[in-house]
Chain A
């Protein structure tokens, strides 16, 4: 045999072997990482047919409100037939969703947990021997029964949506959408609900999927861009309002043609002066405004785990005057969902940081032991702390001296913004309110929209008032 031309061959093989072992360690670590952290979200996917087969061995668990009241449960009759029951009928219709005819809302979100059983070993063995199905885990939501009920009642027969959430945690306390449906009679009503001639859209969760013109609530965005472009003197902006602002052939009217008179920036925001903000819009860098809107999560995915629509903001450089006048006051092509408006408000309330909204607080086994606990998670900063503080101040002025008078009270301090969004010349405007309280240390954020409700200050703000009152009386 010839001599080895590479005397270090063994050493080199050893190095390569180490490399390959390292590769495998990486592979195994990735595998473990996938199972530990990602697999829950991955497998809870409607395309994963495997979950359905879980139901053969597990009775679907309960969904509960934050104080432990049952809001969805599976009843098993003597013959082992199962039926899903919702004790509060349509109260939680959209947010909790349904689990027949597909799955929506929390029923879809927590499908995996509800169909997984963590009853103790002994009981499992016992159930097995007596061929009884194991009881699935229960899901405790962040939803507050009282607030949900109050929001539901306050909206009454009107169409619209209410979102109540905690800005410092992201917990959603209430989510109502109207018109609604009764999940208990879903199967019987199904054909009617999905019929082509039915245009009411009862199945649509307007809180997360309803796209509305933001109206004057968008002035928060316009104001933020103005502040960013004029950091030292943004407060110096003034405008004289006679109720109708004319620019060439275009006119922008204030709500009901109210003449606000001489307005500084703060007053214009508080009184929601359309002329002042349309005129202000003309001075702004349109790409800057688009960037700011994008940073506030327009046109982007929301950190939200139930079905939602993306808000859209399209105006960019080169837009014509009319488009600028309209867009600056939240009309035009801009569209937003109530949950997104709540999230922007929450970021302002929370020093610029958005906490990811969430609906499931914990998963418990049937004995009440916590199987999995969900913690608040930060999404990131939508704006700086200074910007959020300044916006809070302006939004506070809306309540103390402007359109948010319905929320004036000594009991607590509210900061907010009203909106009356035009969507059809022949119809009443949509009434908006977004706000949070207390201003000093925000605990709760509310976003309300009442379709064709007229003025935000008169229709939406009182609903928010009812909910704030309830929240702070608890």
Chain B
């Protein structure tokens, strides 16, 4: 496992392995194709070469056997001419032997009593002994040739034929040779069978001829007779004592049997099979004259010996090459990666906060050099950025501190002591303001002058410092402008003129101004583009139907229209900014006016504080932690009857 982990962590190791694996795949594909094509080429070449050699050999054998056949064919007419001269047969076989030195023997054998004076056996037989031709009569009770294959076969088939080879043993010197005979039936003048003319040839030349056919170091030729007997075999103990089928009698071998049958059928071809435990290609072709069959056995390891050696060498070279490639790849990649590694170490140092640590100079212009340069640039940028960040952070901390102070100042601008008029039991008023940023753009205010309650609630366009400044200005303007005898629409008009004047920032604000005569309960009000307040009366909540007018600061000439309610005593109002109805939850759904009415109209509340708290709780639960996008200001007011 440590090795695997090391492999996983080491880029050079991984890269090296991948390169070698890829190269190995290419090698396997290329070598596989090459070996396949080469193997087929070698096989086809071997097949062609072996078949040709075999064919030439069979032709040579055929030529020699043809000579033997011709010697008999050239003789039989003389036999027929002298069928009444038995003694001539001895001269004839002598001449045949002298004229055909390739022969091993020649006989002219006759049926019993064909020559009445010669009795049951008459066979003129000539053979070579000590370099000269010997002639004798060979038939007798110990050698009843009438029952021999060479005599019976042409007699029964009534046509010339070759006998299956047989072993001729010379007991005098213990030597043995394999003989075959070409036999022709002889016909008497009356058409009856008269005897057989046969010429013998030793097959020792056959072994020599076939042994010389050796296209591969361990290849060899065999020849089988029509009964499958081995006529030629490198293991001479098998000659004529075993056939190609002998070994299959005890242990069946379908491959050998199929080969033997094909050879006996006189077929020509090639079979791949196991011979003596090794895979071999056996090419076979019949000798047409005799019906025998010659086979050339070529061990596969011989045919593909050169190919296999080449393959082993190439595979060894490729394997060594791949190992060397792996080694070199790792070395090269390691060397190439060294600057990167130093870069990593330096980066580690930098990551600990040591930004001043100098980067190594690779002195290269390649990707790694560029990476080092980029890293160096990044380091410098990082150092500058961090310096800037430090400065900015310090500045931001200072501003944040100032904003905290500004918020405190802003919050101090609006009344925050409740109940605001503890000496008056007829006024129940509670307000709360929550800026979306450190300082907000919402405002509310109220005061009593000459038994008249003035109040306002507003929302400045934009938040933060600009909004808060306009809010502060507006609040002060309200305090300054709102005087007894001045209706809310007049207040709105005066403030609008002041705010709209020199309004280069194009800032504006919505506001709701109200004035309640505490004696009569009459409420005058002017809505300047603000949200309509909620009126709660008798446990039911609804939005007050108000004229929208326009926000302050937009049009200095706008003629704001005021409205009034005759007596609002016993009724409660909730004034709010759009931070309430437009408050969004994480799914970006707005709180909406419907929920507002539900909260306020669902059940009676005992005080303005409770109404504001209930609404605050409802909206807090609704937004579910989502960041507020707008300031939220609530003001609840209820005038009780004295």
Please say whether chains A and B are actual partners in one complex.
no
Interface residues of B (CB under 8 A from A): none
Q: Chain A interface (Cβ within 8 Å of chain B)?
A: none
